[in-house]
Amino acid sequence: MPPQDSEWDKYLSIWEKAVDTQMHFNEMSVKSRQLGLTFVAGALGVAVVLLSQGQAFSLEVHLWLFSLQLHVAVLLVLGAYVALRAVKLLDLNVYHKMLRGAVSFGEDLEENYLKGKHLELEKGMTQAISHFSRYPDAKVVRGENGRYQYTGESLKNAESKISEFYSATGRFLVFAAAALFLVTNLNFVRPTLSGGQESLQLGVESTTDQNGSQRPLAGEEAQPNVEVSK
C-alpha cells in the first residue's frame, strides 16, 4: 500500500497527466490513419463508379507512336496514393514522435520515481504497454512469489509496424492504378501516324495471275482501293 503523503500525491498527479498526454497523441495518430484509409476507400469507390461509365470519363493521350486512354479512375487512385504518403509523413514524423516522447517520460517516471518506491511492481502501466507493443512474442509469467515477469525476445517497435502498414497500402494502390490502366486500354491502344492521323486501306480480295498481276476473285467486280483518313 503506497504511503498517503504529499510526495505520493504529487507523483500520482504527474503520472495521470502523462497518461492523458499519451492518450491524446495516440488518438491523433489513430485519426490520421483513419483519414488515410478514408482517402483510399473513397477513391476506390468513386473509381469503380466512374469505370462503369466506360470511356465517358477518359482522356486520350498521344505517347510516341501510340494513343492511350487515361481514365479518371486511374488518376483518382494515384491521388489517393499521394494523399496516403502525405498522411504517413504527418503520422510518423509528427504525432508518433510526440507520442514516443510522452511514453518515454511515462516510462522514466514509473521506473525511477514510482516502481520500487511507492509501487511494488515489475513494470508500470506505460512500461507494460510499451513491452507488449515492442515485442510480438511478449508474454507474462507469474513467478514463485506471485509477481508478474515480462518476457519477449523478438524486438520490433511500433514505428516499423506502422510504416509497414502504409507501405502495404501504398503498394496496393499502385497495383490497382496499374491494373485499371491496363484494363481500360485493352481495346483502345492503336498506332498513331504523323499528325495524329490514322490510315486504313480498303479494297476487294484479289488473286495473282501467271503474269504476276493482281485481279479480283471470280464473281467480284474490280474496284479501286480507297484510302480513308481519320
Q: Give the pLDDT of residue 77.
A: 94
What is the pLDDT at residue 151?
92
Which cell goes with 161? Answer: 509496424
Task: Specify the pLDDT at position 56.
Answer: 67
Instruction: Work out the burial of residue 163: count CB atoms within 10 Å of its CB; fewer than 13 is exposed, 13-18 middle, 19 or more buried.
Output: middle
- Secondary structure (DSSP) of 189-215: -EE--GGG--EEEE---EEE-TTS-EE
Give the C-alpha separation, 140 to 153, whole Å. 13
Separation of alpha carbons 78 and 87, rounded Å: 14
pLDDT for residue 61: 77
Rounded to whole angstroms, the Cα distance separating 146 from 58 reads 69
Rounded to 10°, the helix 72-90/6-51 angle is 170
Q: What is the pLDDT of residue 159?
A: 92
- Given a cut of 50, the residues of the chain with pLDDT beneath it are 1-2, 192-208, 217-230
SS3 44: helix
Rounded to whole angstroms, the Cα distance separating 112 from 65 reads: 71
Residue 120: the pLDDT is 80
Note the pLDDT of residue 6.
79
> Is residue 229 within a helix (H) or strand (E), and if so which, with residue range?
strand 226-229
- The grid coordinates listed for 103 are 511514453
Write the pLDDT tens digit of every residue in 90-118. 999 999 999 999 999 999 999 998 887 76
With contact defined as beta carbons under 8 Å apart, do 32 and 87 qualify?
Answer: yes
